Structure 1
Amino acid sequence: MKKLLYPIVIGLLAVALTACGSNDEADKKNDEKETKTTEAQQSKETAKATEEQQKKMEEMQKKLDKQKVDEKKTVAIVNDENITGAEYNTVLSSTQMQMQQFGQDPTTKEGAKQIKEQTINSLVGQTLLLQAADKKGYTASQAEIEKQLAKIKEQYKTGEKFKEAMKQAGLNSETLNTQIAENIPYTKYVENEIKVEEPTDEEIQKYYDQIAEQSKASGQKVNKLEEMKPQIKEQLEQQKKQEKLVKHVEELKKDAKVEVKI
């Protein structure tokens, strides 16, 4: 605020300052000089901090890119179906981003090992589920693919932001359409084949109590149970389905031939 008001104050008091003599005029000039010096220093510090942050991000990206593999390389074979390096790199990028969001460094020795295992397990599990969905006859029509693509694009205000998000996720139009075409039968399969029981009132209450306790500890206000019940119910259903899905994948693995090549 001072930076904006200072010239206005000087303008309003111009006559009085002139009448005060050379000492006051010198003080005014010194004040102006100090203000400009401070602003220039702050600007330099901000620019330097931005440059350092950009440099760190570029260095991190270089380390992340080193974890990628040749796109044409076969990273795993699941029931005679090859999983390519291109597929691996796409899931890898997503896994790296998730890990960073949780405040973990994916470029450490342990982090790199964890990411590699997680990416491979994810790809193998996904492939087994897609194979199971195919056996059950679940498919995706062109109309369904286009509808899903439109929904994804709606999440972004402009086409440029959509393209930028695609770039960050390591996707292009072809890979995105392929993922959508695979995701639709996968979703149909999970919704129809992986059934879970509805959460009980006791489970909902227990989950709410945990949220309330965490909110109280952090000094945050928590809504009433009745207001949060639908959200909690959905969350618990997702957790149950995820747990059952993991078990289902393990069952599919028992009858599958899986060979990891990296």
Structure 2
Amino acid sequence: MKKLMSALLITIMAIALAACGNGEEAKKQSDDKPKTEEKSKEQQDQAKQMEEMQKKMDKQKVDKDKVVAVVNDEKLKGEDYNNMLTTSQMQYQQMGQDPTSKKVAEQIKKQTIDSLVGQTLLMQQADKKGYKASDEEINKQLEEVKKQYKTEKEFEKAMKDAGFSMDELKTQVAENIKYTNYVEKEIKVDEVTEDEMKKFYDQFASQQGQDKKAPKFEEVKPQIKTQLEQQKKQEKLVQHVEELKKNAKVDVKI
């Protein structure tokens, strides 16, 4: 049972559940195709490459019961580490990097354990300050997940296929809400200024090629503001975790 779950992980879990639900339909459509229809050699090669890549990435995982770190006497297990590792691997793939190369694999390992320790410290602090998720908040987020499915039966089947019970899902949703509430209320960031947005826009516009005209500043101003707010929040979050580490006992085991 996973103890920790960030806002990113709950989103990924919801996508995974949707994929499970859609997988049945995809299988049905595949079965309806003529038996004589075969994958092209290019598709077969691509599928084989993806399979080999997944095998290499799976080798980076640890035993689910292995203690990977101890944070203030709380033991973090391989199951939590492996879930966060998968997220890190996906991020590096999206950036066009091979997560199985020696250098990148080391970066991913460090990023994963740092993220896990940091999240644990934040959750411990949230507990210390009495943050909780209300039944109303939990039910609201569960309804958002359920909306991806046509029927309750489809949702329950997707849950079963993904290996979750409703109690486990509720617990994880509650942890996610508690984490999010703590970060939103405890991590304060300065307002994004007009000058900061214009500076960001000018840098973006200067990077566009001659044949590519940048949109007007006012058109992209809302997106720029959101991105800068997220950057500031992340920077403050990192600083906050570093402060928590100063008074914490952290023992990394891998």
Please give the range of the TM-score, normalised by the shorter of the 2 chains.
0.7 to 0.9
Contact 1:93-1:170 within 8 A present in 2 as well? no
Calculate the TM-score normalised by the size of structure 1. Answer: 0.73
Q: What are the Cα deviations for residues 134-171 of structure 1, in whole angstroms up to 9, with x where unaligned? A: 1111111233223223324546789999899999x998
Q: Report the Cα distance in structure 1 between the residues aligned to 2:149 and 2:219, rounded to whole angstroms.
A: 29
Partner of 1:60: 53
Calculate the TM-score normalised by the size of structure 2. Answer: 0.75
The answer to whether residue 223 in structure 2 is matched with residue 231 in structure 1 is yes
> Which of 226-235 and 52-61 deviates more?
226-235
Partner of 2:198: 205
SS of the aligned residue for 1:259 comes to strand
Pair 226,129 (structure 1): closer, same or farther in 2 beyond 3 Å: same
RMSD: 3.1
Q: What pairs with 1:170-181 in structure 2 (closer than 5 Å)?
A: 176-181=169-174
Identity %: 63
The answer to whether residue 75 in structure 2 is matched with residue 82 in structure 1 is yes
Pair 227,165 (structure 1): closer, same or farther in 2 beyond 3 Å: farther
Pair 159,123 (structure 1): closer, same or farther in 2 beyond 3 Å: farther
Partner of 2:26: none
Pair 144,166 (structure 1): closer, same or farther in 2 beyond 3 Å: same
Q: Report the Cα distance in structure 2 between the residues aligned to 1:190 and 1:218, rounded to whole angstroms.
A: 42
Pair 199,255 (structure 1): closer, same or farther in 2 beyond 3 Å: same
Greater percentage in helix: 1
Q: Report the Cα distance in structure 2 between the residues aligned to 1:104 and 1:172, rounded to whole angstroms.
A: 35
The offset of 1:211, in angstroms, is 2.0
The answer to whether residue 64 in structure 2 is matched with residue 71 in structure 1 is yes
Q: Report the Cα distance in structure 1 between the residues aligned to 2:129 and 2:59, rounded to whole angstroms.
A: 39
The answer to whether residue 242 in structure 2 is matched with residue 259 in structure 1 is no
Structure 2 counterpart of 1:244, from 222, 236, 251: 236
Partner of 1:95: 88
Unaligned runs of 5+ in 1: 1-42
Q: Report the Cα distance in structure 2 between the residues aligned to 1:100 and 1:171, rounded to whole angstroms.
A: 27
The structure having more radius of gyration, on CA atoms, is: 1
SS of the aligned residue for 1:83 comes to strand
SS of the aligned residue for 2:75 comes to strand
Pair 116,173 (structure 1): closer, same or farther in 2 beyond 3 Å: farther
Q: What pairs with 1:159-178 in structure 2 (closer than 5 Å)?
A: 176-178=169-171
Structure 1: 4+ residue segments shifted above 3 A = 43-46, 152-167, 169-179, 218-221
Unaligned runs of 5+ in 2: 1-35
Pair 218,62 (structure 1): closer, same or farther in 2 beyond 3 Å: farther
> Structure 1: which amino acid aligns with 2:93?
Q
Q: What pairs with 1:141-152 in structure 2 (closer than 5 Å)?
A: 141-152=134-145
The answer to whether residue 122 in structure 2 is matched with residue 129 in structure 1 is yes
Partner of 1:182: 175
Q: Report the Cα distance in structure 1 between the residues aligned to 2:107 and 2:199, rounded to whole angstroms.
A: 32
SS of the aligned residue for 2:190 comes to coil
Pair 259,206 (structure 1): closer, same or farther in 2 beyond 3 Å: same
State the aligned residue count: 219
